[in-house]
Every structure is written in structure tokens, then in C-alpha cells.
A and B are shown apart, each in its own frame.
Chain A
């Protein structure tokens, strides 16, 4: 223990505490606009008026902010919808690897988002705004459902939904005749 005390601090600790050495004298060209060397900043701050310390928002304000952020999150999938719709339209209805992958992503995204809904809104949820958050979550689920609907529309367009008679044809069987007639050659 004694040894460690007497030993000089490690190099990295020195580097960390001292910061880069600014050699003002060697600089012949001005700093870029808005660049402040830390030491100078300290100097100026001590020289000039004391900067206002950031006022901590109140809990109410915080709630409002969080709610605002939450709404933003909730409506984000809806904003992607037109983009997705155009993408889906462009890929066409043929069964190709590209369109199949796009459709897969289209399904995967909303379902994953809905499953992770608690994680998404955990940071923004407080005891006080729980009521409002319900609406936000509902909107989020709704938007994702819209995206899902787009996916279903696309899959239907590709003819992958068993909605018509022909899709169930294999389960229909021919009628069995009760009698059989055989030709007997003479």
C-alpha cells in the first residue's frame, strides 16, 4: 500500500487531468468561429458575467415534455406509412426475393414495436402522466396496426392470402359415386 501511495500517478491519469496543452503562442491563425479553448472559456466566464445556471424544469413541465416526446414517438410509424406504401407499390406484386424481403420487414417492424411498447415508453412514463400515456400507447399501437394493414394489403396483392375459393380447393374432395360401372369387353 505504501508503495502505491508513493508511486506517481499513471500517465493516463495525468493526461486526463491536464488536458491538451495549448500553445497559444505558436498559433498564428485564429481559432474557428465559436471555438473556445477550455481554459479560455473558464477565463472568460470568470471575466464576464456569470452564466445563468440552467433552471431545472418543474415536474409539471417535465411531464409535458415527456408527453410531447411520447406523442412524437407514437406517431413516428404513421409518418413512415406513405414512404412504405410507395415502396410497396413500387416493388410490384410478383414473388421475388426483394419484394418478399420488404414485405417481411414490413411485418417484422410493427410487430416488434408493439411487443417492445413498454420498453419504448418506459423512460417517458411517470406516475403522474400514466393516464395520458395510455392514449399515447394506443395511438402507437394504432399506427403500427396501420403499417401492418399495409403489409396485409401488400400480401393480398401478391395473392398470398387464402381468401378465395381456389385456395381451399385442395381440401375439397370429389364426390364419390355410390355405384361403379365397368365395361365388359365381349
Chain B
């Protein structure tokens, strides 16, 4: 410490802070009193899909049920219906592959749930989510069902599953429910595309789509014996000239007492129903209830073999919805319409629940929940809803999208009902008897981009102050007096809250005094743009609830959504997409701004004639200067650009050099116009890394890594004068397979006290002067894959940096202090005294992730795609927000909180000390006074 003090004792504040941060690096960690307090985490599943969300009892002997879902993000999980907490979760597709279909089935009275996605059928323990077995199919799965055989041979053991897969040779497989072994396999001949499986209690039906010459779709049904797997029968349904696409197939019922197929014509005028196993098709006219055309028709049928063979058809138009209930006569296979549910405005969601053989349909509309029995139209229960209790845009009608219910019926009334509803806002809510119990913000699981914005009230103050600064003194004075007068209106509320604030001020610490005012800039609004075309805002200071949630007007459904978010004006968030120009929103309440505010570009002002714009186009990087092509980076043949990271536009750097132990300076190569480019050559397995000058297009640093496993993500980051990237190298003769993190730092010169070629010139043109930095790089062997790198950002860049690495394999985010990966760590020797003073330690090839570096501590952060960092108003702190599937946010102080009192500061003790000293002074003062007077009067 003595030596380091000597080296770093500077009179300049900034240098002192840098020095302070330097020593503190090795001890950096997440503190116990901050964990769970400053960080927040939403363990999300993603928007649940209607077909794969249901209540199920994980333990057949107990009545308690969990909600199971396989979401659009391919996350399989169980949610506790009581509080909405996640019981367990499995990510079935971690590599971001989007599958068209996925299946989740739970057999009645089974303690496993069976999922099917891609090529994989898997059984999971329903109670804890452990994998029971897994089976890969040759072709992609088209359907998975559970066999509910009622041939008297039903055993207590696991029920078997049937899987239908397409591909080169489509097959139907019966999978043993206990072991996952294939019991039999039936190869489907012909070129018909497998569509779905259906099973009754005695037979298995494979439904195939046969394309006729005229382009219509014909349904072909192959009937199989469930025991032997032999074909029993095969027939085609007369559906020609009606079915043009598979979209018009409304439903293929599965495990009901009498499975049926329903389809409509493309205009939704008639509904055709076929009971599987018979060849007769019955048609029903769909009566138009209002002017708007029907948008979709859905069939809701019970999913149990021993329940009544009733089903409900739900018709939805843009303005209203209604439903018809049909009964199937099991004896003759006749379908009869039993009753209709009246038309109601808005969207509706229907769910089916069973209790023994009885079937109940629950209808959720905007303002009420009703339950009817499938047998008659009498309402068994009705609960009115005032609100779903979720944030939505002003004037926006929150509509239910789909629902799943659990009904308990006593006599003729529903005694209790639990309904989970996916709302049009993206929230997944739970209502018990019409009252909101919990809501899960599942729309955040599909967050694509985020930005941080200052709350509008803080921003208006900033704007007001700017007005005062830019007007003449008299006008500014009048403005200020007016502002203060208007502030007086808040006086009563301040007086009321004053005692509380004083008590809080005495007892609390400055760090948790977040609610009163945001002097530290922790309460920033985090705005997320979701794939569903919504903007959702969270408050980083109190992240428990959604601040606002609006539909983005310029995004139409079906458009390719690549929104960009920015907050270039304080208090205003701007969203734009390829489809349309930007719309500005008030960051505090999510209201679209009536008029566009002019956008002041970030960073130093550069005349527009000096701006180079570059963009990625067809795999090459092209730049234009004054609308003429300036340069292009075209990868070599067979090479593709994996990633391009420019240095952030707003990247403040406090010190332009690194102070060495002997107080000399190594000057950093600081150029705002550099970018890190990672390319891959798949044929050779090499990864190339370039640092480009984005003004001239010159390559100022390059490196090649051979034997790289290019299937594993390569993460890269660029900040200040350094860059970092990680990759995985293949096993070879010299090296084993391993993950590496490379950190490179660019200097103007490697000679201390030398500013390189350009010396002390104050400005330079990247086009005219070609400078090349001197790079120092170091490679570290890391224990696991890094899928994404990010770096902490602070207001002035004084605080040392932390490299944030997303670890997909351990579901965490690790914050690596820059000092630990500094490329200047001495190799093969111990550091000299001067190097020790700088905080450099001897280089070790293996970089272990210290458990204290994990920002998520005990949390499991699954599926993080990106990490966004933003500076707080105080220099020590950087706000971190990770998104992907889960949402995780925290505050980081890479050099400790040197400008704010932490939780460990004992305010009470300090106040007690001051009070004690004051009392002591009052007591001692007269004594001392008397003694002094006495002394005057005493002789010698």
C-alpha cells in the first residue's frame, strides 16, 4: 500500500479517484446487504401459448395444481397459481432457434408432462421439472399426444405417448411413458404431409394433408391400432374445394371421447365437422352477427377421454365475439348444435375445464367472467371485472387473448374459479373469482431493444434551468420567481411528508432514500420495445411494477419489427423502426408527444459535412461521406461478418493516459471513430478480428484465430481504448477445446511519456493522418462460454470499468474487473514494485470467475440476450439491465461507492457521537472557564 500510495498520490481529484479505484479492484464483489436490494429479477417464461397452457396436478394424490406452459419463447415451466411464482423452468431452445410448433401434454393423473419441440420429445417431472426421459425423432415433430387407452389394461404407471414426425420418412411412434423407449413405429407411406395426431380410447388417427392437383388440401386419415401399431384403416375426407390452406383447419380434436376435425371455408361462412373415424361431414352455417368479418374461429373441446363429447366453437370478429356449443352423439356420430352464447363486444377468451365427466366452458370478456356447463346454457357463475389491474395505454381497451381455467363446482354453482388470462397488453394474469391475484409481465420476455430515459419531471427541471441560463438576467429572474411560486403549490404535501422524511433521513442511509428524490439518478425509466410491438417501461428505482405499457402506433402486425429506441432528449423516448419515422413518448407516462422535439445529436458537435455514415449492407460494411461512397469493408471469399461493435458515441474518458507506477504516462489511443469487427471463415474455422478506423476504413489492428468453433457465439465489446472478445477453440493436437477471452488495449505509444506520432496536436483528421496504435493483447482461458459482453458506463468515465459477461451455461452474468484482465499483466515474472503499485498482478493463463463477481448471486438468469448499461447521475454507479428471456437489473459500483454513503454507514452512531460531544462540551465548558479564572488569580 505504501508504494502504491506513493505512486498515486496526486493533487488532482480525478487522478486520485482513478488511483483509488485501482487499489479497490481486487476486492470487488457483490455485497450481502446489496444483494436482493439493489437488484431485481423477473423470472419469465414468455407469452404462454393457448394450446400448451393448462392447470395440472403434479401429484395425482393431491388436489393442488400448478399451471404449466410452453411459451412462445420455448420456455417450459410451472407456475404456482397462488402467487405467480415460478416453480421450475426449462429452456427447450437456448440457441434462439424459433420452432414453428411445440407441444405440451399432461396425461390425467400423471406426474410427468411431455413436451415436444423440434426433433425432441421429452418427459419432465411435473413437480420439480427434472428430465425423466428424452427421445429424438428423425424428422421434425408434427404432433405429440398422450395415449389414454380405456381398454381395461390401464395401469397405474406412466401413460404412453404417441409422436408424429414429418421429414423424409414420416412416422408415428408410440413411446413408452416410463422409459422413453419406442414401442412401435409406423412409417407413413406417400408424399402426404403429416398434420396431426388424434387418439380416441381405442384407436390412433394420423391425419395427413394431401395436396390435390388443383391446389386444395384434402384430409387423409390413417387409423392405427394403438397396441400393435398396424394400420387398421385409411380413408380420405371429401373436403375438396373448401380447404385451400391449413389455416382453415380449425381444430383436430385429440384425446376426447370422440375426436373430431373441424374446418371452414376461407370466408368463414360454413363450419364443417367430421367425427374422426367416420366419413360423414356435417356442415353448419356461420351466421354473421355484425358487419365486420370473422377473424378467426376456434374450437374448445375437453381433453379427456372420459368427459362428455361436447365442444364449443368461438367466433371472433374485430368488434365482437360469440360462441356455439355442439354435442356429439357418440352412438351415431351425429353432431348437433346445443345452444349459443350471445354476442358480446370486444374480444373473448374461452377455456374448457372438466370435472369428472362434466365439461364447463368459461368465457372471459373485457368486463366479466361467466361459466356455463356444456350441457345447458344456464350461467353457473358470473363475476364482473372492473379492470385486469395491468398498465395499459390511456384509452386502450385491455382484451383477453386466451385463458385457462380451473373450476370447482358444488351443486349447480361454481364455488371457486381460477383463471389465467393472457391479455392484449402481454401480461399474464391470474384471477380468482374475478379478483386479480397476480400478474406476470410476460411481454418483457420478448424484449428486443431497451433504453434508459430520465423521468420527465426531472427532465423538465433541467429544461427550465436551461431556459433561465439562456435568457437575460431580468427575464431569468422573473422566470425563476414564477417557477418557485408554482413550486409553492406542492408545499402542503411536502410539509405533510416532512416528519416522515426526517425520521427516514435519521435512520436510513442515503443509498436507500430513493423515493423522495432522485439526486443519484437511480430512478431512470427503462423502456423496452417488445416483439409484440409494445413499449413497456419499468422504473429502475422501484422495478416491481410496470410504469406504463403502450402499443406502438407505427408498428403494424406482421411487419418485420426491428425497432430502435433512443432517449436523446431527457424525459423523452423515441422509438423508430424500419417501417416508420420515430415517434416520441413522454418517458414518465408513456404519452406520445404531440409535436416532435428537435433532437440534439449526442457527443461533440461536428459539422454535418464531416460526418461519415456507415452501414452493414449485404454482408459488407459500406461508408459514405458527403453522400459519396467513402470506403467499404468487404470480407474475403467465404468470410462473413459476425459482429461489428463501434466504440459508443457517448463514451467519456476521464484520463487520456495510464499512470504507471513510476508516475510516467502511457497514452491511450483514443479515437472516437473505431470499431471492432469480427468475421468468420467457416471453411477454415478461423475467426478474424479487426479494429477499423471508421472514418478512413483503415484496419488499425487485426488478429487471426485458427481452429475456432464457429457454432459457439463469439462475443465482442469495444470501449475507451480497449476491446475484448471471447471465442471457443476446437480441440487440436496442441490444444484442447476451451473458451478464451482476449483483451486488447491500444496505446499511442508503448514508450512512457510519449504521445506518439501526432504529439500534442489538439485535433486530427482521420482521413489525412494515418495513425496506427500500438496494441497489447492478452488471452485468458475462461471456464465457460460467454454469449454476450458488455461494459459498465459511468458519467465521466473516472470509475474503473467492469466487463460484464453473460454466461448462458451457468445462467448468470459475471462482472469481471478490468484490472483482472488487463493486458499489461506481467508474463512469466512477478510484477515489479512499480507494477504492483499499478495493481498489476502476474499473468495467469486461466481466469477463474470469482464467485463474488457474479452479479446474479443466487438468482438464475435464463436466456439473457443482451446487457444494457447506463450511467447514473453519480460517478461511481452504473445501471445494468439484462434482457432476453429474463429481466435482470442492478446497480454496479466498479470502484465502490466512493461518492455515496453505503448501507454500512451507521447514521445513528454518527448522530449519537455528535450528540455526546455536544453534551460533553456543555458540561465541560463552565468547568474549564472556572479553572481558567482561578488560574489568573493564583500566584506563581
Interface residues of A (CB under 8 A from B): 92-95, 157-160, 162, 164-167, 169-170, 172-186
Contacts and interface: CB of A to CB of B under 8 A. Distances in A.
A95 B660 CA distance: 19
Closest 4 CB pairs of A and B: A181-B694, A181-B612, A164-B663, A176-B763
Contact of B615 (A164, A172, A186): A186
Interface in B1-18: 1-2, 5-12, 14-15
B11 A162 contact: yes
Interface string B752-763: 110000101111
B670 A181 contact: no
B659 A95 contact: no
Contacts of A158: 6, 9
A179 B610 contact: yes
Contacts of B765: 177-179
Contacts of A183: 614-615, 644, 646, 675, 694
Interface stretch (B27-35, B221-229, B648-656, B708-716): B648-656
Given A167-B10, A170-B12, A174-B653, A179 B606 contact: yes
Contacts of B936: none
Interface string B600-643: 00011010001111111100000101000000000000000000
Interface in B23-82: none
A165 B15 CA distance: 12
A35 to B, nearest CB: 23
B722 to A, nearest CB: 15
Nearest to B10: A167
B574 to A, nearest CB: 14
Contact of B564 (A160, A180, A185): A185
Contacts of B762: 173, 175-176
Contact of A166 (B15, B610, B758): B15
B847 interface: no
Given A95-B5, A185-B564, A166 B10 contact: yes
A186 B617 contact: yes
A178 B623 CA distance: 17
A78 B548 CA distance: 78
26 contacts: A92-B2, A93-B6, A94-B1, A94-B6, A164-B664, A165-B663, A165-B753, A166-B10, A166-B660, A170-B12, A172-B656, A173-B656, A173-B762, A174-B653, A175-B761, A175-B764, A176-B604, A177-B671, A177-B764, A178-B766, A179-B606, A179-B695, A182-B611, A183-B644, A185-B615, A186-B617
Contacts of B656: 169, 172-174
Interface residues of B, number: 59
A179 B767 contact: yes
Q: Which of A158, A160, A174, A181 has the most CB of B within 10 A?
A: A181
Nearest to B608: A180
A41 to B, nearest CB: 26
A175 to B, nearest CB: 5
A181 B761 contact: no
A167 B9 CA distance: 9
A159 B9 CA distance: 6
Given A95-B5, A160-B9, A173-B762, A166 B665 contact: yes
B672 interface: yes
Contacts of B612: 179-182
Contacts of A167: 10-12, 663
A157 B662 CA distance: 12
Contacts of A185: 562, 564, 615-616
Given A93-B6, A165-B753, A177 B673 contact: yes
A166 B664 contact: yes
B871 to A, nearest CB: 19
A177 B660 CA distance: 26
A175 B758 CA distance: 9
B902 interface: no
Given A169-B659, A170-B15, A177-B672, A93 B614 contact: no
B615 A181 contact: no
B685 interface: no
Given A170-B12, A186-B617, A179 B611 contact: yes
B207 to A, nearest CB: 43
Contacts of A94: 1-2, 5-6
Contacts of B659: 166, 169
B613 A95 contact: no
B613 A159 contact: no
A170 to B, nearest CB: 4
B346 interface: no
A151 B373 CA distance: 98
DSSP class of A's interface residues: helix, strand, loop or mixed?
A: loop
B657 interface: yes
Contacts of B753: 165
A44 to B, nearest CB: 31
Contacts of A170: 12, 14-15, 655
A169 B644 contact: no
Nearest to A157: B6
A158 B613 CA distance: 50
Nearest to A171: B12
Contacts of A169: 12, 15, 655-657, 659, 665
Given A179-B766, A180-B673, A181-B673, A166 B615 contact: no
Contacts of A178: 606, 610, 763-766
Interface string B253-273: 000000000000000000000
A165 B664 contact: yes
Given A164-B664, A172-B760, A185-B615, A179 B9 contact: no
A101 to B, nearest CB: 16
Contact of B663 (A92, A166, A179, A182): A166
- Among A157, A169, A172, A185, residue most surrounded by chain B Cβ atoms (within 10 Å): A169
B689 to A, nearest CB: 18
Interface string B552-580: 00000000001010000000000000100
A25 B657 CA distance: 92
Contact of A177 (B1, B614, B695): B695
Contact of A184 (B10, B615, B663, B763): B615
A162 to B, nearest CB: 7
B608 to A, nearest CB: 10
A162 B664 CA distance: 11
Contact of A181 (B6, B611, B657, B763): B611
A33 B613 CA distance: 106
**Which of A183, A184, A185, A186 has the most C-beta atoms of chain B within 10 angstroms of its own C-beta?**
A183
A133 B655 CA distance: 54
Contacts of B695: 177, 179-181
For A164, A180, A183, A186, the residue with the greatest tally of chain B CB atoms inside 10 Å of its CB is A180
Given A174-B656, A175-B763, 17 more contacts: A94-B1, A164-B663, A164-B664, A166-B10, A166-B659, A169-B12, A175-B670, A175-B762, A178-B610, A179-B695, A180-B612, A181-B611, A181-B612, A181-B614, A181-B623, A184-B613, A184-B614
Contacts of A184: 613-615
A55 B6 CA distance: 62
Contact of B611 (A159, A173, A176, A180): A180
B418 to A, nearest CB: 44
A4 B625 CA distance: 113
Nearest to A185: B564
A180 B664 contact: no
A186 B9 CA distance: 49
Interface in B222-252: none
Nearest to A170: B12
With a 10 A CB-CB cut-off, give which of B562, B564, B663, B761 has the most chain A CB atoms: B663
Contacts of B611: 179-182
Contacts of A180: 603-604, 606, 610-612, 672-673, 695
Nearest to B609: A179
